[in-house]
Structure 1
Amino acid sequence: MRLTHVGGPTLLIEVGGWRLLTDPTFDPPGRRYAFGWGTSSVKTAGPAVPAAEIGRVDAVLLTHDHHGDNLDDAGRALLASAGTVVTTRSGARRLAGSGAVDPGRVVGLAAGSTTVLDAPGRAAIEVTATPCRHGPPLSRAIVGDVVGFALGGGAALWITGDTVLHRELLDVAGRLRVDVAVPHLGGVRFPVTGPVRYSMTARDAVRLCEVLRPRAVVPVHYEGWSHFAQGRRAAEEQFARAPRELRDALRWLDPGVPTDPEVS
């Protein structure tokens, strides 16, 4: 397995001949993006790999389509050339309805449902949507649908998606057998909503990984946007106080550099 961190939540996954891309964000920095209900963010860093240099994309794993820090304009344009787009059910309807993706190439999943990526000459990959709560209790009507993705029948890799730590997420972590965990961090906050968080803090990630016990932890979604309230330092500090096996599992990917996260 090789992972390339493009920036923000965007990760290129190369495994078994497959090339999978998560949450495509390729716009240049400097623009402010509105997320609704008075919230917004400025993109502060561009992609480590331009969209034109990503190469073949067999499938896009899109945790949600309606926030610019998970799908920006250049990322949306890339969807047209990707093989399959897997996302939320509501997102699949929006993407197909807008013409961004041919309806036959987009798959909508609810948490707990599964699809299979298959192609001649490659082992099939089972993709299961996992639950996300992208904010405080009862916020779904405001923040919209979000899912994470577990890859492989035993979840060889788990992308948490944008979520706070909540009971359903911990329950899933207790059932999965994960080699590589990709938590979306950042401890997202907005001035208009005060102390409310919309993604995991570093402390949340440690708690989740204590249940999950993966062989490698690869944080994403912690830099490149002004609404990310916690960066790499916060995660390093929290994991430094974690059990030894989690400290040893933490992997920081150099932006743009393909890396095998299971090789220390």
Structure 2
Amino acid sequence: MGNVDANRQPVGISVLGGPTTVVDLAGWRFVIDPTFDGPGVNGHLTKTSGPAIAASALGAVDAVLISHDDHVDNLDTEGRRFALDAPRILTNPGAAGRLGTSAQGLAPWESVQLHASDGRRAVTVQAVPAVHGPADGDRDAGGNVTCETTGFVLTGDGLPTIYLSGDNASLEAVADIAARSGPIDVAVLFAGAARVPGRQHERLLTLNSAWAAAAAEVLRAKLVIPAHIDGWAHVTEGVDDIRRAFEDAGISEVLGLAALGHWTVPPTPTSG
């Protein structure tokens, strides 16, 4: 399939660069963690490349999903503007308080069902746990590792179940999601082995490639789309590492590696 534009797919997923991913599902369009700035230094992080598709090319969206608003590699200046222009933001409770009236905070396992008057099937968005660093890592005032963050699971009758990991480094969290959600049709895993000087003793803040392959097996995912594996200097593993890890695990067939800004079509749903 071709490049992402304002035309919606019945079902399609595309990584635009960094963590930013577009999900079209039954007529709904979601964007997770919008980052639309160009390359450059932003605070203590360096962006090395811009998005494959500009925000203006996406047309209208129904909801922006934000794993966390604390870090510019998940919500930069243009991404924040894009999110605030959307009719709905779904995120963690702390971020919702900072982002304003269009934002709804969802605690882990809390969900919201989206309905439309135009006959589109309802889609449920559920917040799921994410741990932004090692389990024994430094915690903020709220008890979160690095900061409060969330993943999401999208479901609907007759639709593929889609897991969006957000910045998560915990296989235990992945196992909890698998136990509660059942088989995942599509897992979009933030898997660039992010490490930042001065943060968590430079240990992993997101899944590395080997852990992403392990997560795919735990989730029994039919399709795994890696995200957040490019575009930022603190991302330490890329597409070649992902490919090798899935080959080593013997599950190369589930790996989806479309070019940035191009659509991937998920497989037939496991159930529903």
> Fold conserved (TM > 0.5)?
yes
Amino acid at match of 1:206: A
Structure 1 residues 40-189: aligned runs within 5 Å: 40-96=44-100, 103=101, 105-120=102-117, 121-136=119-134, 137-141=136-140, 143-152=146-155, 156-176=161-181, 177-189=183-195
How far does residue 166 in structure 1 lie from its aligned partner after superposition?
3.6
- Whether 2:264 is the aligned partner of 1:259: answer yes
**C-alpha separation between the residues in 1 aligned to 2:153 and 2:256?**
19
Amino acid at match of 1:115: V
How far does residue 198 in structure 1 lie from its aligned partner after superposition?
0.5
How far does residue 225 in structure 1 lie from its aligned partner after superposition?
0.1
**C-alpha separation between the residues in 2 aligned to 1:191 and 1:146?**
20
Partner of 2:242: 235
How far does residue 4 in structure 1 lie from its aligned partner after superposition?
2.0
- Whether 2:246 is the aligned partner of 1:249: answer no
**C-alpha separation between the residues in 2 aligned to 1:180 and 1:168?**
17
Partner of 1:33: 42
**1:218 is matched with which residue: 178, 201, 225?**
225
DSSP-derived class of the 1:42 partner: strand
How far does residue 262 in structure 1 lie from its aligned partner after superposition?
3.0
How far does residue 118 in structure 1 lie from its aligned partner after superposition?
1.6
Amino acid at match of 1:215: K
Which digits, 9 at most, give the CA deviation of each residue in 1:195-244, with x for residues without a partner?
Answer: 4110000111111111111111100011000000111111111101113x
**C-alpha separation between the residues in 1 aligned to 2:147 and 2:258?**
29
**C-alpha separation between the residues in 2 aligned to 1:65 and 1:55?**
23
**C-alpha separation between the residues in 1 aligned to 2:263 and 2:215?**
26
User: What are structure 2's unaligned runs of at least 5 residues?
Assistant: 1-10
**1:24 is matched with which residue: 6, 29, 34?**
34
Which stretch of structure 1 is more off in the superposition, 54-63 or 139-148? 139-148
**C-alpha separation between the residues in 1 aligned to 2:98 and 2:75?**
13
Amino acid at match of 2:186: V
**C-alpha separation between the residues in 2 aligned to 1:247 and 1:240?**
5
Amino acid at match of 1:203: A
Partner of 1:37: none
**C-alpha separation between the residues in 2 aligned to 1:66 and 1:182?**
21
DSSP-derived class of the 2:198 partner: helix
Partner of 1:99: none
**C-alpha separation between the residues in 2 aligned to 1:106 and 1:229?**
32
Q: How many residues of Structure 1 are paired with residues of Structure 2 in the alignment?
A: 248
Which stretch of structure 1 is more off in the superposition, 181-190 or 159-168? 159-168
DSSP-derived class of the 1:3 partner: strand
TM-score norm. by structure 2 comes to 0.86
- Whether 2:205 is the aligned partner of 1:201: answer no
- Alpha-carbon RMSD: 1.7
How far does residue 9 in structure 1 lie from its aligned partner after superposition?
0.7
**C-alpha separation between the residues in 2 aligned to 1:167 and 1:221?**
20
User: What are structure 1's unaligned runs of at least 5 residues?
Assistant: 35-39, 97-102
